Amino acid sequence: MNLRLFRSQAAIQRSAWDQLHWTSPHAPGHQRPDSQWHDWLMNPSSLTRRLQAESQQIFRVEKTDQQILKPALNEASLLGMHSQQYALIRQVILYGQEQPWVFARTVIPLSTLNAGNRHLMRLGNRSLGSVLFKYSHIRRAPIQITRKNNRFTTDFIWGRRSIFEIHQAPLLVTELFLEPFADHSNLPDLKPGF
C-alpha cells in the first residue's frame, strides 16, 4: 500500500472528496455491505476503541495533514455550510498491528471551533474518538456509507461518515477502511468493477 498518497496534497483537496458517492446503507439500488462489513460500518460506538481491541492494543494514530481549507461541496452541504466557507480539516491514518487500517478525515467548521471547541485543533497524533466519546452530551447523526471508488485518490474498500454534534456544534467524521484492515480481519474485498 502506497502511504505517500495519504500524505499528498491531493488527498486533502476538496475535488478528491467530491468523487465519493455517499448513501444510506439501506438505499435501494446500491450495493450493501455483507454482515461482517455492516458490523464495522454501522456500529455507533468508538471506532478507536474497537480498533484498539482488534489490534490487541498495538494501535497508533499518525496525523498526515491539518489545514484550514474549504471542505468538499458534499461535506459543506451536509454540515449546512456555504460552499465558500472554511473549516479545519484534519486527516490521520489509524494503524493496527503496525499496518494502516483506516484513513480518517475530520471537517470542523470554524463556527464549531469558536463554540468552545478549540482544543480539537491540538489533538496531534491522538485520535478524535479518544476525545469525542468522553462527552456525555454528544449526538451522532445517521451514518452514510460509500464503497471502493477507483477515481478517488487513495485505495479503500468501504467508508462511512457521520456528523457529530457537541453542544449543537457540528463536525463531520469520515473513516475509510483500508485493505490491510480487511486482510487482518478476514473481511471480503469488493468484486472488481465496484
> CA-to-CA distance for 141 and 11, rounded, in angstroms?
25
The grid coordinates of residue 177 equal 477502511
Q: Is 128 annotated as a binding residue?
A: yes
Q: Is 179 annotated as a binding residue?
A: no
- Region of 168 (left: φ > 0; alpha: ψ -120 to 50; beta: rest) is left
Where would I find the beta strands (DSSP E) of 34-189? 59-69, 87-96, 99-109, 139-140, 144-147, 158-166, 169-177
**8 Å CB contact between 175 and 24:** no
Q: Which residues contact 89 (CB under 8 A, 6 or more apart)?
A: 12, 65, 66, 67, 68, 69, 71, 105, 106, 107, 108
Task: Say which DSSP state 188 is in.
Answer: P
Q: Is 90 annotated as a binding residue?
A: yes
The grid coordinates of residue 153 equal 485518490
Report the binding-site residues for substrate: 90, 128, 175
Q: Which residues are annotated as a binding site?
A: 90, 128, 175
